[in-house]
Structure 1
Amino acid sequence: MGTTVTDEQIQDLVKTAQPFSLLILRWGPRRAQDGADAIELEHQRRMVSLRADGVIAVLCPILDDAMAGTAIMTVPPDRAREIIADDPCVRAEMMHSEVYPCLGFPGDSLPG
């Protein structure tokens, strides 16, 4: 860490914080069930659609045997839970979901 940040800079940034929801998806016990590839493709289609609609601001599939992915959602946690409860992989018990309230800062983004 080479950049020095002042207390004032921290306070100025904190004032810009906006509420989001953090979605965490973990692989479930039925990950390898019959038809899993087709179910996962529908999950992917749905997640990319939610991203295109602005419901998901950042979508991050995770390349791990325990974790399936994470996303920053632009809706309140209760709405995020409703949305993900209807996900094909969650309904099929291929994935389990967790949703947490979080804060984000306008202008943050992934490098291109």
Structure 2
Amino acid sequence: MSVTDEQIQALAATAKPYSIAILHWGPRRTVDGADAVELEHQRRMVALRADGVIAVLCPVVSDTVAGVAIMTVPAEEAAEIMAGDPCVQAEMMRCEVHPCHGFPGDALPG
């Protein structure tokens, strides 16, 4: 499919600011009690998704990356939210947050 400059410009005009949170496995991933802490992390992430703070939630199957979340709040707020994550606080995960842009209405295929 050929995309025109006009199509690119039209799409770019619809871009909105978001934040992307990338969770990496940390040095204490396998500490005693890790399963319970990870369950609380999962509960919190699903609640943030239900509240609309997380627009897209993607757990990652990897030995290095734990997950990715596209968040609807500014990067500074997203970083504060993720700093309160049980796995981040337990050093089971570390999180990096970056501002990004996305296109409202984009979705994962069903």
Q: 1:98 aligns with which of 82, 89, 96?
A: 96
SS of the aligned residue for 1:97 comes to strand
Count of aligned positions: 110
SS of the aligned residue for 1:64 comes to coil
Counterpart of 2:41?
Answer: 43
For residues 46 and 86 of structure 2, the distance between their equivalents in structure 1, rounded to whole angstroms, comes to 13
Shift of 1:107: 1.2
Taking structure 1 as the reference length, the TM-score comes to: 0.97
For residues 106 and 65 of structure 1, the distance between their equivalents in structure 2, rounded to whole angstroms, comes to 31
For residues 67 and 78 of structure 1, the distance between their equivalents in structure 2, rounded to whole angstroms, comes to 21
Shift of 1:28: 0.2
User: Which stretches of structure 1, 4 residues or longer, exceed 2 Å deviation after superposition?
Assistant: none
SS of the aligned residue for 1:4 comes to coil
Shift of 1:106: 1.3
For residues 108 and 66 of structure 1, the distance between their equivalents in structure 2, rounded to whole angstroms, comes to 27
Counterpart of 1:105, as a letter, is F
Shift of 1:65: 0.5
Counterpart of 1:22?
Answer: 20
Counterpart of 1:60?
Answer: 58
Counterpart of 2:77?
Answer: 79
Q: 1:13 aligns with which of 4, 11, 14?
A: 11
